[in-house]
Chain A
Amino acid sequence: MEDNLLIWKLNHGSADALCRIYEKYRDDLVRIAAGLLNNMSVAEDVVQEVFLTLVRSAGRCEIRKNLKGYLTTCVANKIHDLNSKKSAQNPVSLDDIEPAASDSQEPDQRVACDEEFENVYKAIAQLPYEQKEVVVLHLQGRMKFREIAELQGTSIKTTISRYGYGLDKLRSMLSSEVER
């Protein structure tokens, strides 16, 4: 209910409501975007774009499902768009165009995280995009498989399979990290 009221107030130009929505969800959205992009500054830009779109739609914004789910979907769609544009410019696979999770990345582009999570983000970055998307949106974005399937335009079964493969790969990568 609180989110509905925040949206209602935002629709009436309330800066307080905007601040509350921002404080409530911005960090999580950046985390999700960072997981999907493996690039901190692009992740921040994407999230900012999503908030800017929300602000510009104030006055006519109608959110029927939960606000976090809505914003997470917006972030995922934005990244899809970004990847599509890049893909159109350079006809290579999605995974090819993502920055590799390696030390060769510019320091300010890497996902800024505590040491304990560094390997996690590196591992996530190695996943094929569709698998990465399911894993991140489900585990970090708390999105349901049905919602992710809608977003990916696939069946729930495919989405769940991608999640299973993604998780297995992460398990393999992170275990070998530890064992090394």
Chain B
Amino acid sequence: MRLADEIKRLVRDAKVIIDPVVKRDALKELIDELEKSETNRSAETTPSVWRIIMKSRTIKLAAVAVIMIAVLLGLPFLPKSMTSPTLADVLAKVEQAKAYIYKMNVKVTGPVMRGWPMGQDMTGTVTISKDFGMKTEMEMIDPNTEESMSQEDYIIPDEKLLVMLMHEKKQFTRTELNDDLVARMKKQNNDPLELIRGMLDVKYTELAKSEIDGIEVDGFETTDPTISSGTTGDVKVTLWVDSESWLPVLVEMDMSINEQTRSRITFYDYQWDVPVEKSDFVPVIPDDYEAIFEDMEWPEMTEEAAIEGLKLVADLMGRYPKQATIVELMAEISPIMFKRIKKDHPGEMTETELETKMMEAIQPVYPIGLFYMTLVEDKKEPVYYGQTVSPDEVKAVLLRWKTSDDQYRVIFGDLSTMDVTTEQLAELEN
């Protein structure tokens, strides 16, 4: 009589002979069925994705504001060590000014993102008060309609508020800023000229003396990409200061937004120590203006929110975004989102409605870029591998940053996280 264990082994090991032709044909049938159901399924599965996306309330212009603020105010989020007596002198002079006004021109060549409603050429006035906040009045021409658009934005850190008035449309929005962003803004005194501090902390060169509008100026220039806090690609910042007063006269920033797009931002016509009052920074909203999308919230800039964003992108595209800088991120995701929405709503919406919907849908993706930006600003040396790591690479490092001298935080391909030592990281990245 055979032993029970032997019987168990016999049954366990008993194999059948598989007919490879039957197996191959059966698999082909399954793949065909998958392709067939993919066509039928897209409309069915999309709501589950959109249910997640639509939880976040926002609007097209707020979407733009996120990018604009990330790009423009991303610049100030820089460390403050001082290594150069010359630039430090400029900084000392600027710091003495409690309030100032300057003009700003933004020229964008190439597409920023699908549905970007700003003109390719924007000009405006910025008023900054270290006590009360920041006010921006911008005029732009919509390149599609050639209509003029004007917009006033107020950032009021004490009230944690971003208010935007769209005059032609007679609409306004109020967005609550989160504590993290406000803390960062307060730390920087809402001052875009923090880029001077940034320049002090990166490699820069002193330029030969020059002349601007009859004023003798000294120049400083940097091409160190860390100056833009990971918000852009390559960048060149040139600062010209009055040789006599040591106050800035002109700042020019030339940066790549994405592969096809460059942006050139110029700050000029500075007026220093202008008298301002708190009321200058309180938005006056005419009675006939309609509040749109109230109770909006600024996207989170946390690790958790970034992971959620990555999850959403992976869910949508089956891969992670190639870059984590906010503008490149938006340039990559927005056309895909747009196509998806268009496919889901065939013939139901105008192009503008589709773009607005896309702007709403893309909201949960912002935290990826914003969180990455904070890591760069905080000098945590983030490295992002979205170009090579896919969601099924469970133990591949997707994003990592430094948390202390010999410790790193890692987000893996499966979006799990871990704190590792330098040695462990080296092994993981090997």
Contact = CB atoms under 8 A, between A and B. Distances in A.
B14 A19 contact: no
Contacts of A35: 11, 14
B7 interface: yes
A6 B318 CA distance: 11
Q: Chain B contact residues (Cβ within 8 angstroms of A): what range?
A: 35 or more
Q: Which 8 A-B pairs have the closest CB atoms?
A: A59-B45, A112-B17, A117-B14, A13-B38, A59-B41, A5-B392, A139-B11, A120-B14
A22 B34 contact: no
A155 interface: no
Contacts of B17: 112-114
22 contacts: A5-B391, A9-B318, A9-B392, A13-B34, A15-B31, A27-B23, A48-B26, A56-B37, A58-B34, A58-B37, A60-B44, A111-B16, A114-B17, A117-B10, A117-B15, A121-B14, A139-B8, A167-B7, A167-B8, A170-B7, A170-B11, A171-B1
A175 B3 CA distance: 9
B11 A55 contact: no
Nearest to B39: A13
Nearest to B416: A1
B30 interface: yes
Interface in A42-64: 43-44, 48, 51-52, 55-56, 58-60
Interface in B5-31: 7-8, 10-19, 22-23, 26-27, 29-31
Interface string A1-15: 110011011111111
B62 to A, nearest CB: 29
Interface in A14-52: 14-15, 18-19, 22, 26-27, 30-31, 34-35, 40, 43-44, 48, 51-52
B40 to A, nearest CB: 9
Contact of B16 (A56, A112, A178): A112
A55 B29 CA distance: 10
A124 interface: yes
B378 interface: no
Contacts of A174: 2, 7, 10
B315 interface: yes
Given A10-B34, A35-B11, A48-B26, 19 more contacts: A9-B392, A11-B45, A12-B315, A18-B30, A26-B27, A40-B16, A43-B16, A44-B26, A55-B30, A55-B33, A58-B34, A60-B44, A60-B45, A113-B15, A117-B14, A117-B15, A139-B12, A140-B14, A167-B7
B18 A27 contact: yes
Nearest to B11: A139
A133 to B, nearest CB: 13
A136 interface: yes
A135 interface: yes
Contact of A12 (B7, B318, B414): B318
Contact of B14 (A13, A43, A58, A113): A113
Contacts of B38: 13, 58
B27 A22 contact: yes
B35 interface: yes
B41 A171 contact: no
Interface of A: 1-2, 5-6, 8-15, 18-19, 22, 26-27, 30-31, 34-35, 40, 43-44, 48, 51-52, 55-56, 58-60, 111-114, 117, 120-121, 124, 135-136, 139-140, 167, 170-172, 174-175, 178
A156 B16 CA distance: 29
Nearest to A136: B11
A56 B14 contact: no
Interface in B133-173: none
A112 B4 contact: no
Nearest to B46: A59
A171 to B, nearest CB: 5
A19 B27 contact: yes
A13 B33 CA distance: 11
B27 A171 contact: no
B394 interface: yes
Given A2-B394, A111-B16, A117-B14, A18 B44 contact: no
B247 to A, nearest CB: 56
A55 B392 contact: no
Given A113-B16, A171-B2, A2 B7 contact: no
B1 A8 contact: no
Contacts of B394: 1-2, 5
Contacts of B315: 12
A19 B15 CA distance: 21
B41 A58 contact: yes
B109 to A, nearest CB: 35
Contacts of A19: 27, 31
Nearest to A178: B2
A27 B19 CA distance: 10
A156 B75 CA distance: 66
